[in-house]
Amino acid sequence: MISNFLFFSYLIFMSCSIPLSVGLQHSYKKSKTAWAASVVYVATRSTQALCVNDTNLCIPLEQSYGAGTSFVIDKADEHTMIMTAAHLCYAYREDPPQSVMDGLGIIDTKFEMGIVIEEELFPVNNILFLDIQNDICIFSVPANIGREMPISRSNPKYGDNVWSVGAPAGYFPESAKPITRGMFSGEAKRISPDKTEIEFFNFSMPTIGGMSGSPIINESGELVGIVSAVNTDWHMISYSPTLNQIKDAIEIATLKLESQSP
């Protein structure tokens, strides 16, 4: 009799604990504090120098700095995979050296990129995926950083509420990461220079410089887009790669990181 009562009590406990666990997980996904834990500040520096041929003499000419946003998508083997907009990544922004002074010297441009975590700079040297056309970049750093951003299984629907956490104008204190709100405004197409059609998402949300690479998050706390660009005539029209493009990029980047493992 007692054993039957204990078993019945166990069933009641299990029937309560399972929904509670699911509920807590769902609540955590919707926690905007959890979203902020996934988002990472990006800092860039471009240095132009005049170098004399056949010598180690280089004279700095100009330096420029940039800022943007990125977010954690996965972790593996003590490495963290992070996604951002491709135009923030160095790989295609390095200009080839230019010959000057009748060939006696060159003007060389170096591009550096890093992420900032609690005032510590982590250089970015391992680009896993770079898609200039769709503006997606994925890289890894040899450290355990932040919280993974879950990826939505389905596309957003027209009018769905979305949020983004980013660094507008480079403003990104750890204790007050700016969050903005908007809506999904549908999917469109543009024509590339080679005459192919490129699909992209439209979001109605405030966007300015520094927010490039910010995650766009649905009401369930899942990634549905990346801030790629903003309409120059109206800052409330933002563009993003499609969710399918993002998923394909993650799959390729994951395979590349796995191939790098010893």
pLDDT digit string (tens) for 66-121?
899 999 999 988 899 999 999 999 754 555 666 666 666 777 778 889 999 888 88
pLDDT tens, position by position, 198-207: 999 999 999 9
pLDDT above 80: residue 181? yes
pLDDT tens, position by position, 35-49: 999 999 999 988 888
Average pLDDT over residues 207-213: 93
Number of structural domains found in the chain: 1
Tell me, yes or no, whether 15 lies in a domain: no
Tell me, yes or no, whether 136 lies in a domain: yes
Tell me, yes or no, whether 203 lies in a domain: no
Residue 137, beta-bridge partner list: 84, 130
pLDDT above 90: residue 60? no
Tell me, yes or no, whether 26 lies in a domain: no
pLDDT tens, position by position, 9-34: 433 333 333 444 444 455 556 788 99
Stronger pLDDT, 57 or 178, i.e. the higher one: 178
What's the pLDDT at 135?
95
Average pLDDT over residues 136-150: 94
Tell me, yes or no, whether 186 lies in a domain: no
Host domain of residue 103: 39-146+248-260
What's the pLDDT at 3?
47
What's the pLDDT at 73?
96
Tell me, yes or no, whether 135 lies in a domain: yes
Tell me, yes or no, whether 218 lies in a domain: no
pLDDT above 90: residue 140? yes
Average pLDDT over residues 215-237: 93
pLDDT above 50: residue 6? no
pTM (predicted TM-score): 0.83
Question: For residue 217, what are the contacts with CB-CB under 8 A and spacing of at least 6?
Answer: 35, 149, 162, 163, 164, 165, 223, 224
pLDDT class for 220, splitting at 50, 70, 90?
Answer: very high
Tell me, yes or no, whether 28 lies in a domain: no
